[in-house]
Amino acid sequence: MKKKPKYKRILLKLSGEAMRGKREFGIDPEFISYLASEIAEAHKLGVQIAVVTGGGNIFRGVAGSKRGMDEATAHYMGMLATIFNAMALQDALEQKGLVVRLQTAIEMKQIAENFIRKKAIRHMEKGRIVVLGGGTGLPFITTDTGAAMRGLELGCDAVFKATKVDGVYSDDPMKNPKAKKLENLTLKEAFQNEKITILDKAAVELCMRNDLHIVVFNIHKKGALKKALMGEKIGTVIR
């Protein structure tokens, strides 16, 4: 009998960093096309997918406010950056032949539907990929937290956090060569351990309180998303 995927519906969080590919700034269409292929492969398994995009490759709200901007304004600019990425991803997915619905948390009638929870769920049930731009539409909330919120309200089985590292490490693997990879972790440990910063604490807390699992995996490894969905030992599962 054909093995079934471990997850029925997921919320995939793609950071702005992932959109940048090898570039220092902005969008890398080649890399986004690769991301779209990875999502297409995962979708072929029959998994329902909603994607939340970050925006750090274009504008970081936190960085803007550190340089003297009004913080809320900087955050709103960051939200617009996530919509740029969401549009680029929608385009790349559609070019692969997938049916996509773009919804934004900030009203942008000419280019996207408004975020409507039940509509997003219906789209996924009909086999469409839902791309969510604009975070939550509220300042002072990270896209990680926004992803956890959307994951919960859309009834997802897990938040899949795509990163450039292989999972959660005991310390920052880019800074500490002795950092060890953790294959399994509880949500409580991820919340309490200050060295675990792969997702911000507000996002982890939300997942912990609602028992929403988090899977951290390296999106740069071809096939990793599909393998993680099939329950293979890829990345770190936080549950």
> Is residue 94 close enough to count as binding ligand GTP by CB under 6 A?
no
Q: Which residue has the tokens 């975070």?
A: 135
CB 102, min distance to ligand GTP, A: 6
Whole-angstrom distance, CA of residue 132 vs CA of residue 102: 6
Nearest to 221 by CA among 87, 34, 44, 84: 34
> Is residue 109 close enough to count as binding ligand GTP by CB under 6 A?
yes
What separation in angstroms does the CA of 8 have from each of 42, 45, 81, 127, 177?
A: 11, 9, 29, 12, 36
The b/e string for 127-142 (b: 16+ C-beta within 10 A; e otherwise) is: ebbbbbbbbbbbbebb
Selected from 11, 18, 112, 185, the binder of ligand GTP by CB under 6 A is 112
Nearest CB to ligand GTP, comparing residues 102 and 168? 102
Nearest to 214 by CA among 156, 166, 170: 156
Which phi-psi region, left, alpha or beta, contains residue 172 (left: φ > 0; alpha: ψ -120 to 50)? beta
Whole-angstrom distance, CA of residue 6 vs CA of residue 47: 9
> Is residue 101 close enough to count as binding ligand GTP by CB under 6 A?
yes
Whole-angstrom distance, CA of residue 65 vs CA of residue 227: 39
Handedness of CA 38, 133, 206, 199 (dihedral sign): positive
How many residues of this chain bind ligand GTP (CB under 6 A)?
8
**By Cβ distance, which residue is nearest to ligand GTP?**
113
The 3-state DSSP class for residue 51 equals strand
Nearest CB to ligand GTP, comparing residues 128 and 226? 128
Nearest CB to ligand GTP, comparing residues 133 and 151? 133
Choices 90-98, 106-114, 173-181, 211-219; region in contact with ligand GTP by CB under 6 A: 106-114
Nearest CB to ligand GTP, comparing residues 51 and 182? 51
CB 110, min distance to ligand GTP, A: 6
CB 119, min distance to ligand GTP, A: 7
CB 83, min distance to ligand GTP, A: 12
Selected from 110, 177, 178, 194, the binder of ligand GTP by CB under 6 A is 110
Choices 110-118, 153-161, 168-176, 199-207; region in contact with ligand GTP by CB under 6 A: 110-118
Residues that bind ligand GTP (CB under 6 A): 101, 109-113, 122, 126
